[in-house]
Each structure stands twice: as structure tokens, then as C-alpha cells.
Amino acid sequence: MNHPDDPPQQGVREIEAVRSIWTPRLLKIAYLSVFLVILGCSLETQASSNLVTYVTSDFSQHALVSTISVSTGLIAGVARVPIAKLIDIWGRGEGYAAMVACTTIGYVLQVFLADTSSLRNRALAFSLSSTPYIVTTFAGPAVAQYFQENWNWRLAYFIFAITTPLVSFPIIYLLFHTKHVAIRKGILKPNELKRREPWLQQAKTFAVQFDAVGSVLFVAGLALILLPLSQRAQPSASDGSGWFSASTLSKFLAGYTSLCLFGIWEWKYAPVHLIPYRVVFGDRTVLGSCLLCFISFAAFNSYHAYFPSYLQVARYLSIREAGYIANIFSLTSCLLGVVFAYVIRQTGRYKRLGLWALPLRSVGALALIPAVRDARTTSSAADVVACQLANAVAGAVLIVANQTAVNAAVAHADLAIVLAVLLLFSSVGASVGTAIAGAIWTASMPGLIRDFLPEGKKDLAEELYGSLKKQLEWAPGTDVRDAVVKAYCVTQVRLCIVAAASVPFVVAFVMMWRDLPVRDEDEGGKDKWKGEGPVEHGD
């Protein structure tokens, strides 16, 4: 984390120089390239989210849906903070190329959009970058259903492994090309030749800059607590596993110890902190935005983790239809996000818009509880769709307003790392919510299925619990399918109650925002772009 008086790091200087030479035509090409990347990656995400239940079911481990989400969310969330520092040091093009190799590219694109747009237009840029989800919301579930019915999920993932680098090539080329143009024109002076340090010294330097010790302690602590929480809550007959088994309790203790050591390390010993405490805790707007991301993602994932399965089993929908309803939030928030971003651009205010969304957010969260309570009397999903729409409209407002609040509150030198922290809170919140969902699911579903199954068929409980495919093999109206539907409804109600409990926290965190004016950085005599350093701007 840079001190405010420190000169910008190399990556920041490079993007500032590149921005000064970009013509409107180049910027349009860049945004179209970003759009292509997000389109390809979002299609993969949407298809994968609908296939993952069948992947786990192939191994008779349907409940592991939450465990997979927890592990990927934690790793992706914490990785964003080192990535933020990496692209500030290396540069946007180099960082993006490296992330394509790891397919962890969404965050780098967000920083790129923030780098190339003024504060007044930033919410609009972020919202427009989400519009590919409008297409993939429909295409993703259809692709998933096609592969599940005609091929298999392994082929789907193989194809996506090929398409991601292909759609990423244009923006990588453009970033490197414009950097070289800036060097040729003398706007960007290449670094003086650095002394070649031994690789061991370079590794040590990077480990310090990225707070490797803090990152490992933080991820390990959360993983050791959340992963066992998301797994089997009831002791298994085969291995005796459960929350109160010696194995699980030892993991909880190790996780708690790791988080305590993380706190001590950050407080006393860390040369560079994992989280920029000066910015996050020094501004109530940034802190409120981070906490809002955490609680919002925790609430959403707590009820959404097994929602597609609920729709297929209890509402008798196909993979495609269930995917459409499950993705209503993504579709609506992307469509309306552009509208609300334009409103913020025109009015210059975001907090009032956020406050307006709170009643709708409350109604949507609370109404979802009775909507999922009993699905046996009808196959219509209109009630669930209405609740999803209410949550999506409120979510669209809060997402755009929250992004604008953070961008308005920090200087450009801090922007990449603060966006990373915002996404870190989002990912950790999503992991916590998914872990809670897994805990409730594993504590509820096995016993409920067994209780509701008719006598003589209770031996099917474990098989049904472990596989979505086995659940769907029983036709609607059969006693076994009805028993599974009852179990789904009871469990989904419990998950929705957890999500609804987040409403007071959402209200409190929105109230923490300062209502800062939103304008271009060069208005009012202050340009957050312009910092100290060797780069001379041409604008």
C-alpha cells in the first residue's frame, strides 16, 4: 500500500501515460475487447454454475456444491489483493496476460475500466461492462443443458479452457501496443535498467510486497473453519465425521489459531499489510462499502447455493428453465445497472439512490420465505420470479451506488488496491454465505428425506441425498419425489430466513456512506489522476 506522498508505482505510471495517448477510436476498441472477454468468461460461469450440481452428483456428493464454492471463493478473493499490487508494479498489460494464464481476469478488467474512465462516467462503465450477462443469462443454462443431455460436463470444461485465451488476446495486444507507442513518443520513459537481483532475492521481495505470510494465514484460517462447516453436519455411519468429531473440532481450532496469528502478524510484524487499513478503516464510506459487499454476498449465496437444484426438483423445471430463474438477479441487475448508473452520472449523487433501494430489498428478501415454503401444489414459479425481480432491482441500485461510493472516496493511487479489497470482502462474504448454506443443507436434508420417505423406501435416503440425478429420476407425483420435494422446501425456507436476516445490516452499512459529489476528476481543480512521478500527461 502506497503512502499518499509516494510516487506512483510503475504500473500506475504506465496506465496514466497510455491513457494520455488513447484516441476515442482506440478506447472504443479497448472497451469492445473488454466486452468480448466478459462475454466469454460470463458464458463459462453461467454454464458452469448449472453443470456443477451434475459434476458433484456423478460422485454421489451433491452437497459438495457449497464446499466447492467456498474453496474457490476464498482463493479468488484473497488472490485479488496480491493481483492489485502486481499490476501496479508490473503494469496492466503484463498483469492481465499473467491472469489469463490463471483465468483470474475479471478483477484486472475492473481496474482497467476504472483507469480509463472519469469518476463521473465510472459507474456507467462498470454497468456497461456487465451487459454481456444479459446474453449469457439465457445462453449459459442452454449450453449447460445441451452438454448434459448430449455430451458430458467434461467436454464443456475442455472447450472453455480453450476459448478463454482466445477471447482475451485482443485486449492483451492492445495494452502492450499502446504502451510501446507511449514509449516511442517519449511520454513514458522506460525504467532505468534495474540491477539483476538473484532469483531468491526477487522471490523474497515479492513475498514481502504481497504479504505472503498474511495471505497464507488468512486463507488457511478461513478455509479450516468454513470448509468443515459446509460439509457433513451429522456424523456419518462410515467415518464418524461431523461438526463435533475430533477431526472437525481440530480443524476449527487450527483455523481460529491461524486467524489469531494473522491478526498478530498484521499488527506487529508485517512490513506490507494484506489489507490497506489506512484507507479501509480511515474512511467510513469505504468501510461501509466493504461491509455491504460482505453481507450482500453472504445473504445471496446463503439461499442461492442450492437454489437451482430446488427449482429443478421442487418446481419441476429443466436445467435451462431453472437457470433462467436463478439468473434473474444477474440479468435484471445488469440491465437496470446501466439505467441507474446513468442516473448517478446525471444527478451526481448515489446515496439517495441507495436509500431508495432499501425498502424494496427488504420486501424481496422477506417475501421469498413464503414463496419457497410449499411447491407441491403448483409447478408455477411466478411467486419466486417476483421475489427474484424485487431483489434484483434493489441489488442493481446498491451495486452501482456502492461502486460509485468507493471510487468517489479514494484517490487514483489507491484505486486498484481498494477495488481488490472490495472484491475480497465480496468473495469472503460469498464463501461465508455458501458455508452457512452447506451447514444448513447437511444438517437438514439427510434427516428430512429419511423422515418424509414412506416406510419400505427409507433405505433410499442416502442415495437420494447424494445425487441430483437420482432425485430427478423419480417422476413428479410419486411418493419418493414428493418426499424429496418436502425436504427441499423445508431446507430452502431455512436458507431464505438466513438471507432475510441480513436486511438490518444492509440498511446500517448504506447509512455509513458519505454523500460525496460525483464529478470528473479534473473538475474543481483536483485531478486524482495526476500524481507525482516522471510521467507527463498530454491531456
What tens digit of pLDDT does each residue of 275-322 get? 777 777 878 888 999 999 999 999 998 988 889 889 988 888 888 888
Residue 123 scores a pLDDT above 60: no
Span 455-482, average pLDDT: 86
Residue 106 scores a pLDDT above 90: no
Give the pLDDT score at 95: 52
What is the pLDDT confidence band of residue 413, given thresholds at 50, 70 and 90?
Answer: low
Give the pLDDT score at 506: 93
Cβ 12 vs Cβ 90: under 8 Å: no
Cβ 343 vs Cβ 353: under 8 Å: yes
**Which amino acid makes up residue 444?**
S
Return the C-alpha cell found at 142: 442452454
Per-range mean pLDDT, top range of 145-159, 208-222, 291-305: 291-305
Span 501-518, average pLDDT: 89
Span 182-189, average pLDDT: 71
What whole-number distance in Å separates Cα of residue 26 and Cα of residue 23?
5
Return the C-alpha cell found at 118: 472519469
**Average pLDDT in the chain:** 75
Cβ-count burial of 172 within 10 angstroms (0-12 exposed, 13-18 middle, 19+ buried)?
A: buried
What percentage of the chain carries pLDDT values higher than 90?
12
What is the pLDDT confidence band of residue 536, given thresholds at 50, 70 and 90?
Answer: very low
What whole-number distance in Å separates Cα of residue 217 and Cα of residue 207?
13
User: Model confidence over 436-446: pLDDT tens digits?
Assistant: 898 898 888 88
Residue 31 scores a pLDDT above 90: no
What whole-number distance in Å separates Cα of residue 371 and Cα of residue 384?
6
CA dist list (Å): 203 to 178, 269, 276, 516: 29, 19, 22, 41
**Rama region for 354: left / alpha / beta (φ>0; ψ in -120 to 50; rest):** alpha
What whole-number distance in Å separates Cα of residue 227 and Cα of residue 71?
7
| Low-confidence winner among 37-46, 264-273, 395-404, 462-471 (lowest mean pLDDT) | 37-46
| Low-confidence winner among 289-298, 424-433, 491-500 (lowest mean pLDDT) | 424-433
Span 257-272, average pLDDT: 88
What whole-number distance in Å separates Cα of residue 395 and Cα of residue 383?
18
E-only strand ranges, 488-531? none
What is the pLDDT confidence band of residue 2, given thresholds at 50, 70 and 90?
Answer: very low
Residue 529 scores a pLDDT above 50: no
Give the pLDDT score at 281: 80
